[in-house]
Structures are given as C-alpha cells and as structure tokens.
Amino acid sequence: MGNVEESRFLVRFWGVRGSYPTPGPRTLRHGGNTSCVEIRAGGQTLIFDAGSGIIGLSSAIMQKMNDRAEFNVSLFITHGHSDHLLGFPFFSPLFDPRTNLHLFGPQLAGHNIEELMVPLMSPPYFPVDVRQLPSQRTFHTIVDDQCISWKQGAKNPDVTTIAAKAPTLASDEIRILARFTHSHPLNGAIIYRVEYAGRSVVYATDVEWNSDIEQAFLDFMAGADVLIHDAQYTTPDYQKEKQGFGHSTVFMATEVARIAGVKQLILFHHEPTYDDNQLDLMEAEARTHFAQTRSACEGMEIDLLA
C-alpha cells in the first residue's frame, strides 16, 4: 500500500438496502443493493457485510489489485440473514490466488462463522465450492467484547479481548471492537466500531431499541465521528405492524445519535418498499431531531481525515 492509502480513513457505501435487493427506477438515487460498507483505514481494506452491494465492490477491488503479488482484505459479518450474505459467492477476490482474506463473524445457532459461510458457496446451493478456490481464507468466530487490530503494514490481524487491549491506540494502529446485541431475532447481530487516527465509525445495523437503550451500547457508540445506524421504518409503520422485527425507526436512530453524542448519523438498511422520495422525507424528519443526519446512498463516501 502506498503512503496515500495508509493515511486514509474512508467510508464508502456499496449496498444500503434491507431485507432484499430492489433494483429499478424507484430506488435509483439511494440504491437497491443490500448491506455492504467498505472502510479503508491505514492501508487495510475492511468490508462490513456481504449483501448484494459486495458484487460492485468486487469489481473495484479487482481493478485495484492490478499486478500486486498479494492483496489483504477483511470481511466482517454482522449476522446470518440472507440480505447480508447473498453477495458472498460473487466476491471475485475469492477466485484469485493473491487474495488473503480474513473473515470475521459470530457463532449463531451453534454454528461457527466458517460453518455458516461455507454452505453459501458449495454444492448443491452453488456450483463452485469455496473450499477449492485458490485464495487464502482464515475464519475468525468472534465473541462479545472482541478486539481486532493491525499495526500499520501488518498482513494479519491481532485478535484479543477489549479488556486485554490498551485503552489508547498507537498512532499507526487500526482497532475494531465488536459487541453482540440480541435485539435482532432470532439469533442477534454484532455491532462493530472501527477506530483509527483519532477517529471512529460505528456500524450498527439490524438493531431495534424497544424502550430504553442499554447503557453498554450507548457507551460503545459514544462520541463516534460517524454512526451508521439501522433506520428501516417510519414510526407509523413500526407501530402498526413492524414491532419485534429487529429494526429501528428513524426516531430510534436519532435518539441513539443524540444520547451517544456522535458527530454524524447515517440512516441505513432502508425498507425495500420505500422509494427514493420516501427516504428523502425520512431524512428530512431525522434532521429535525438530529441535524447532522444523512440517508445512506450507494456510492456515498465519507473521508474522516479530509
């Protein structure tokens, strides 16, 4: 990685939709691909979820690889629902022997992350078996309060617990913290926090805060420069028929942002039946509660060190 890449902390949205892909004229501005967010920090390529948005990201990564001898990439899975995994078999770097992939995710329903991911890309569900591909793959089943970190230029991550990690980061260190929530049925989901160069991003999709938000989660999100938060429903839709589905309203997301003292809120995991105009209205409503709010759109970038 060059010095420019090593000094960046860039967030790019490749898939912002929830539940299932929604291509078509009604979703052109926000996008119809499901969850996938790329973060480039300190020379590392970090990917959060493998929804259909990862397919477009795959092409961009393959172009960046050019004639490199090796390409290191890490994929972080929040949970096992199909809208967060359906792009995985089409992740082109898996087919390239230069790829060194670290894949992180939770244990769900008694299955570790390798047991959850491999069937997605093996017969009879897919004609190619991921276990036969030339890329190098390392699976990490992470537990609550896990900490993943890299020194600048490191090929492989250091995986430990939050308690065992120093409270302050070295200037060249990238740190990702993981916290498990049971608010998404039936098996829960992981919230991730990425820290680098004095800045932080929290990725909190597929969460539902029914009444009081647990203090532990507010502490986990506290002071983030960017909070990417589930905001799938309007309040009327939620109250009518969506309670207990494991997703938040716009108001829930803005309340978390306000109480946790984050600098910017990104509304994420858009309801598939909502068109671009509806999402624009939800963004406007959110800004009346938390001014620094934007609705996630495919292709949107946030440069935290600009």
What is the token pair recorded at 195?
């820290």
User: What would the pLDDT profile of 32-84 be if each residue is shown by its tens digit?
Assistant: 999 999 999 999 999 999 999 999 999 999 998 887 889 999 999 999 999 99
Rounded CA-CA distance 164/246 in Å is 31
Write out the H or E segment, with its range, that includes residue 5.
Answer: helix 3-6
The pLDDT assigned to 126 comes to 97
Residues 152 and 169: beta-carbon distance below 8 Å: no
Rounded CA-CA distance 234/274 in Å is 10
Q: How confident is the model at residue 1 (pLDDT cuts 50, 70, 90)?
A: very low
Report all structural domains of the chain as residue ranges with CATH numbers, in order of start. 3-303 (3.60.15.10)
Rounded CA-CA distance 98/93 in Å is 8
Rounded CA-CA distance 175/194 in Å is 6
User: What would the pLDDT profile of 204-257 be if each residue is shown by its tens digit?
Assistant: 999 998 777 889 999 999 999 999 999 999 999 999 999 999 999 999 999 999
How many Cα atoms occupy the beta-carbon half-sphere of 186 within 13 Å?
A: 2
Rounded CA-CA distance 194/15 in Å is 19
Q: Is the dihedral of CA 207, 212, 217, 222 positive or negative?
A: positive
DSSP letter, residue 249: B
How many Cα atoms occupy the beta-carbon half-sphere of 70 within 13 Å?
A: 10
Tell me the pTM.
Answer: 0.96
User: What would the pLDDT profile of 80-98 be if each residue is shown by its tens digit?
Assistant: 999 999 999 999 999 999 9
